[in-house]
Every structure is written in structure tokens, then in C-alpha cells.
């Protein structure tokens, strides 16, 4: 039976109605519907389900609710929309409605349980970084550093490089933050849990003069989602902005440094070989469309690698990696198909070193079989002498 109207309708009525009565101009932009070839999970289909559920015309059951999780949060549909409708934001709120009523997908509920179970693991991972950078006893009045759970848990080497490069850029020790920003809870639909996590995070950094955020997903969460729930923070700086500002301190890297391969030291008369390695940059959705930062990573990469190869669609029109929005958990086959298509295009265009700057994209590409490299790694190498270990 249809249910009562939901608060979602009033909060997003204009966006929902605009989408429902649209001739689906953004249908080709959605990586999920492209991978699944289903009208139901086009932006129009997902917003229509949310709209009619919000009006009470459809029952908010597990079947209808699941469409809200058929979104990677890539914002591509917004870029193609003449109204700039915030589809991803609306669907995140639809997830919260479903989660609160107990009809969220089982994978989403498990993600919340796993988030709580992994909290000690994340804290320990950050503690290791703090110990290795001699910041384990940094005072609360130091600049705070949020590396991001994805880097800290899955890529400890990148997390360590992030901490070291940040200190080089700010000119002082930073204090790594142990708390998670709560983004996985937001994606799972646990709105109340996300608010509690946001408040805990804010309490941990309350005495810091400023905060540097490395992972783009975390950065967008602090800059755009925290204000939505009324959580205030010290001034927030994004790592890529610091790297772009300080890029002239970076030395050009040679081909083996870009690929990560070991090579013998070139003879003094040998010409630089950094232009020999083809480098292609994948725009992370959270960094590019999410935060509007397309030039900053390119300016850094051009400094260390020279010319950058591109994809057929780049920047605001760039394709998704399939790693965001909890998609690898709720729709793993779809997530993998999206990543494989991006990797296949990379190979069709000539291959080379695939560079990104996002823990989720890095994990998605590597787990799909491609040895992608994070921009953080290259920046750390470019800040060090050629012969350093």
C-alpha cells in the first residue's frame, strides 16, 4: 500500500519535479545506468522513484528504496542538467529516509556495522603515520591533518606521503586526526550516525587553527555536507591546493620515477627522461565535479611529469571510476564494470601510467587489475632528491 508523504518531498520538491518531467537529457551521463542498461536507474528513474515515494504514491519498501543506492555520487548528471539539479544530494537524503524506516539494502546496513567495527583499525593506522612522522604527540593547537580512512586503511604508504608532504607545504608539524569524518555513514543512509560522527570529528579538531584535508571525498564532506547538518569547523584547506601553490618546489620526475620502476642512476650527461613516460590523469568525481578542482591537480602533474595525456571525456565531462557512493558494496558488479570501462579506454588511448588523486578511485582501479598511482606519491617523490630511498 502507498505510504504517507515524506519530508524528502518538501526539502527537494523543485529538483524532484524538474527531474520527473524532464525528457531525460542526462540519461547518458550516469555510469550506473550505462553499465546496467536499465531505465530504472537513470537519473530520471531514480529521481522519479524518490518523488513518487515522497508523495506517498509508491510504498517505501526495500525494492523501491534500493534505487537510491544505484548512484556513485559522481555528479555527472548535474553537469549535463540545465537546472544543475543536485541528484546525488537528493538521493543521499532518500537513502536516509529509507534507512530510518528500516528498508535500506542489507549491504548498506552491514556497511554501518563495519564502519563501527573498523574504527579501532583506522585509529591504529593513523597512529602508525603519526609515529613515523614524529607527530604522535603533536599538541591540539597544531594544524590538524585529515588524511582519510581510505588512504589510512588501504594505502599506508600514500598516507605517510600525504603527512610528510603536508608538513613540507605548511612548514610545521601537523597533528593527524584519528576520527573519521563519517562519509561512509552518509552514503549508507545512517543520517543520525553521520551527524554524531561529524560532531565527534569537530570536537577533535576544535582547538586547531586550521585543518588540511587530503582525500577529496573527505574534503567535500567537510566543506559541503557538514554545513548542511550545522557542524562548524576551523578553516579547511584542501591538500591539492597546497600542492598547487607550492608546485615550483617540486622537481621534474624521470620516467622510472613516474612508473615506480627502479632504474640505475643516469650518467651526468644523460638527458632527462621524464618526458618518455606517458601519464594520463583521471579526474576524481569528488575533486573535480564535487569541489570544482580541475586545474590544480593538472598544474602539479604537469610540473612533475610534463605533458599529460587525456581521456576522450575529461574534466567536467569526465567518466566515473565506479568507486564512490558505496557502489562497490551495494552494487559490486556494476562498480567493477564502470571501472573496467574506464581502464579499457585508458588502454585504447595508448595506456601509460594512470594517475588519480582519490583513495576510492585508486582502490577501484587497483582492485580491477590496473596499477594506478596516486598524485600524492608523485609529489612525495618530487620533493625528495633523485637518489633518496
What the block records as the C-alpha cell of 57 is 504514491
Dihedral of alpha carbons 272, 160, 150, 90, sign? negative
Q: Rounded to an integer, what is the distance from CA 82 to the centroid of its chain?
A: 25
- 227-236 core/surface letters (b: 16 or more CB in 10 A; e: else): eeeebebeeb
What does the DSSP 8-state code read for residue 1? -
96-112: pLDDT as tens digits: 999 999 999 999 999 99
Contact residues for 241 (Cβ-Cβ < 8 A; gap 6+): 293, 296
What is the pLDDT, as a whole number, of residue 3?
Answer: 54
Work out the pLDDT band at 2, boundaries 50, 70, 90. Answer: low
Q: Rounded to an integer, what is the distance from CA 146 to the centroid of its chain?
A: 14
Residue 64 CA neighbour count, 13 Å, CB half: 21
Work out the pLDDT band at 82, boundaries 50, 70, 90. Answer: confident
Q: Given a cut of 70, is residue 46 above it in pLDDT?
A: yes
- 315-353 core/surface letters (b: 16 or more CB in 10 A; e: else): eeebbbbbbbbbbbbbbeebbbbbbbbbbeebeeeeebb
Mean pLDDT, the chain, integer? 90
What is the pLDDT, as a whole number, of residue 261?
Answer: 57
Write out 44-112 in H/E/C secondary structure: HHHHHHHHHHHHCCCCCCHHHHHHHHCCCCCCHHHHHCCCCCCHHHHHHHHHHHHHHCCCCCHHHHHHH
What is the pLDDT, as a whole number, of residue 24?
Answer: 73
What is the pLDDT, as a whole number, of residue 272?
Answer: 44
Q: Measured between alpha carbons, how far is 277 from 362 in angstroms, rounded to an integer?
A: 19
Which phi and psi (to 5°) does residue 237 adopt? -115, 140
What the block records as the C-alpha cell of 308 is 599529460
Q: Write down the pTM of the prediction.
A: 0.90
Sheet holding 353-356, edge to edge: 279-281, 353-356, 373-374
What is the pLDDT, as a whole number, of residue 266?
Answer: 42
Q: Measured between alpha carbons, how far is 341 from 31 in angstroms, rounded to an integer?
A: 10
Q: Given a cut of 80, is residue 291 above it in pLDDT?
A: yes
| Average pLDDT rounded to a whole number, residues 212-240 | 97
Neighbours of 8 (CB within 10 A): 23
Q: In the chain, at which residue ranges do the beta strands (DSSP E only) sit?
A: 143-146, 174-176, 211-213, 236-238, 279-281, 353-356, 373-374
Q: Rounded to an integer, what is the distance from CA 121 to the centroid of its chain?
A: 20
| Average pLDDT rounded to a whole number, residues 17-36 | 84
What the block records as the C-alpha cell of 112 is 554501518
* Spans of all domains in the chain: 7-100, 106-243, 250-382
What the block records as the C-alpha cell of 381 is 617523490
Beta carbons of 215 and 148 less than 8 angstroms apart = yes
**Angle formed by the axes of helices 87-100 and 43-55, to 10°?**
40
Beta carbons of 304 and 253 less than 8 angstroms apart = yes
- Dihedral, CA of residue 124, residue 130, residue 133 and residue 137, to nearest 10: -140
Beta carbons of 122 and 180 less than 8 angstroms apart = yes
What is the pLDDT, as a whole number, of residue 11?
Answer: 78
What the block records as the C-alpha cell of 300 is 602539479
Query: What value, to the nearest 5°, has the Cα angle with vertex 351 and ends 348 and 354?
Result: 125
Q: Given a cut of 80, is residue 37 above it in pLDDT?
A: yes
Amino acid at each position: 500500500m502507498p505510504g504517507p508523504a515524506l519530508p524528502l518531498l518538501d526539502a527537494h520538491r523543485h529538483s524532484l519535479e524538474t527531474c520527473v518531467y524532464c525528457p531525460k537529457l542526462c540519461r547518458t551521463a550516469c555510469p550506473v545506468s550505462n553499465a546496467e542498461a536499465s531505465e530504472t536507474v537513470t537519473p530520471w528513474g531514480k529521481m522519479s522513484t524518490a518523488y513518487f515515494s515522497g508523495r506517498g504514491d509508491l510504498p517505501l519498501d526495500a525494492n523501491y528504496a534500493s534505487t537510491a543506492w544505484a548512484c556513485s555520487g559522481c555528479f555527472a548528471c548535474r553537469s549535463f542538467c540545465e537546472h544543475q539539479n543536485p541528484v546525488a544530494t537528493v538521493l543521499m537524503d532518500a537513502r536516509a529516509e529509507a534507512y530510518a524506516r528500516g528498508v535500506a539494502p542489507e549491504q548498506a546496513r552491514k556497511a554501518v556495522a563495519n564502519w563501527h567495527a573498523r574504527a579501532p583499525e583506522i585509529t591504529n593506522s593513523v597512529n602508525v603515520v603519526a609515529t613515523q612522522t614524529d607527530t604522535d604527540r603533536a599538541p591540539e593547537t597544531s594544524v590538524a591533518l585529515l588524511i582519510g580512512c581510505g588512504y589510512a586503511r588501504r594505502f599506508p604508504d600514500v598516507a605517510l606521503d600525504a603527512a610528510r608532504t603536508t608538513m613540507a607545504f605548511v612548514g610545521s608539524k601537523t597533528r593527524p586526526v584519528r576520527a573519521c569524518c563519517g562519509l561512509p555513514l552518509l552514503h549508507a543512509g545512517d543520517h543520525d550516525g553521520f551527524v554524531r560522527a561529524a560532531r565527534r570529528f569537530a570536537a577533535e579538531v576544535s582547538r586547531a587553527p586550521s585543518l588540511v584535508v587530503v582525500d577529496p571525498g573527505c574534503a567535500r564532506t567537510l566543506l559541503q555536507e557538514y554545513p548542511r547538518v550545522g557542524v562548524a569547523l576551523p578553516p579547511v584547506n584542501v591538500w591539492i591546493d597546497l600542492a598547487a601553490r607550492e608546485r615550483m618546489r617540486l622537481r621534474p620526475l624521470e620516467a622510472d620515477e613516474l612508473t615506480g620502476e627502479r632504474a640505475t642512476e643516469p650518467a651526468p650527461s644523460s638527458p632527462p627522461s621524464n618526458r618518455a613516460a606517458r601519464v594520463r590523469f583521471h579526474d576524481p568525481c569528488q575533486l573535480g565535479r564535487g569541489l570544482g578542482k580541475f586545474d590544480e591537480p593538472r598544474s602539479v602533474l604537469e610540473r612533475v611529469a610534463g605533458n599529460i595525456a587525456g581521456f576522450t571525456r575529461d574534466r567536467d565531462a569526465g567518466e566515473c571510476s565506479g568507486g564512490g557512493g558505496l557502489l562497490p558494496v551495494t552494487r559490486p558488479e556494476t562498480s567493477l564494470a564502470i571501472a573496467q570501462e574506464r581502464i579499457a579506454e585508458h588502454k585504447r588511448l595508448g595506456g601509460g601510467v594512470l594517475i588519480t588523486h582519490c583513495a576510492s578511485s585508486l582502490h577501484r582501479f587497483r582492485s580491477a587489475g590496473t596499477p594506478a598511482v596516486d598524485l600524492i606519491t608523485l609529489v612525495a617523490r618530487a620533493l625528495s632528491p633523485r637518489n633518496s630511498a
